[in-house]
Amino acid sequence: MDREDGRFVSAVVVAAGQGTRMGMDINKQYLNISGKPVLARTLEAFEFTEEIKEIILVVNEKDIIYCKQKIVEKYRFTKVKALVCGGETRQISVYRGLCEVAPGCDIVLIHDGARPFVSENEILSCIDTAYEFGACTIATPVKDTIKLADSELCISKTLDRSMLWAVQTPQAFLHSLIMAAHRKALEDTFNGTDDAMLVERMDVRVKLVKGSYDNIKITTKEDIKLAEIIAERNEDIT
């Protein structure tokens, strides 16, 4: 697909979590991975992708000044057009970010700030697929056998692994579609686990885009160790 069509692509990066599962005082987005904060690595991918015209960064209210000074200004992220205070849930945080996207935006990508290894190719694939299908998400095939358990923690069914995908971000949508999906969720007081779910409940099909197993989300202390390995490997390649 020709990307030189004048269409406007925005990215909403959500970094409003508190990282409670880490058991640390610092927000996981600001932890250093091979000498660079997680969030800085995440933002770089969107800053350096030409097709992305603006970044809306959603952060915890108490982190606004720190993030502005230590991430946005320090690393000179010129595409960050707004820092938005997050809400009580990820869904509210995303919606607040979407409301700050530039008028006339065609496609918006929503990405977790704690996924620092998204690649430019994955971002471009999401943009192209969203243009074609209206909604998509990066995902990877499940490698493990997945069992469905009953209320007594006994296996009730073995799921067909060939049909199972682990969903990641970015997720990309026509801006008008994802705004409608979020507004409907608000009206219905529905809280989904990701943005694709909000679109699915509007009977819109969401296309899967095959991504990389490196596109991990930093959630636990064990993830930090893996992230260090990935970062060092990527630096060796470049």
Q: Quick one: pLDDT at residue 22?
A: 53
Q: Quick one: pLDDT at residue 5?
A: 61
Considering the domain 9-233 in this protein, what is its CATH number? 3.90.550.10
Q: Quick one: pLDDT at residue 47?
A: 98
pTM: 0.94
Q: Which residues pair with 24 in a beta bridge?
A: none
Q: Quick one: pLDDT at residue 25?
A: 63
List Cα–Cα distances, 171 to 61, 66, 168, in angstroms.
24, 27, 8
Q: Which residues pair with 165 in a beta bridge?
A: 141
> What is the domain partition of the chain in residue ranges?
9-233
160 CB burial (10 A radius; 0-12, 13-18, 19+): exposed
Structure tokens at 17: 């979590």
Structure tokens at 6: 């004048």
Q: Are the C-beta atoms of residues 148 and 155 closer than 8 Å to each other? A: yes
Q: Are the C-beta atoms of residues 115 and 137 closer than 8 Å to each other? A: no
Which stretches of the chain drop beneath a pLDDT of 50? 1-3
Distance, CA of 170 to CA of 83 (rounded, Å): 19
